[in-house]
Amino acid sequence: MYVEDVARAFDVVLHKGTIGMTYNIGGGDEVSNLAVARKLLALFDMSDREDEMITLVEDRPFNDLRYPLNSKKLRELGWEEKMSWEEGLKVTGACA
């Protein structure tokens, strides 16, 4: 998730949230760790070094396949994610 979306979520909770309530900050994009690693390599023009830079390991038996967050309470306060993960990565890469 793009950092500005997270910062806006904190601001919404600060000004509209209920004290003691838990608010999850979750976006609409679900991306695997492997996809993130590959995107970062591409961003830094290192895709040709994937075999060198990424080491696949056996999954630990206690890991879940995914960890979804329910951000319904935060969205009910009026927050919404404005930038997709893909676009946020491009913006971040432009700053690198």
pLDDT tens digits, 27-77: 888 888 889 899 889 988 999 999 999 998 887 777 666 777 899 999 999
Question: What three-state secondary structure class fits 52?
Answer: helix
What's the pTM?
Answer: 0.76
Question: Domain coordinates of the chain in residue numbers?
Answer: 3-58+70-95
Measured distance CA(38)–CA(53) in Å, rounded: 10
Q: Supply the Cα-derived Rg of the chain in whole angstroms.
A: 17
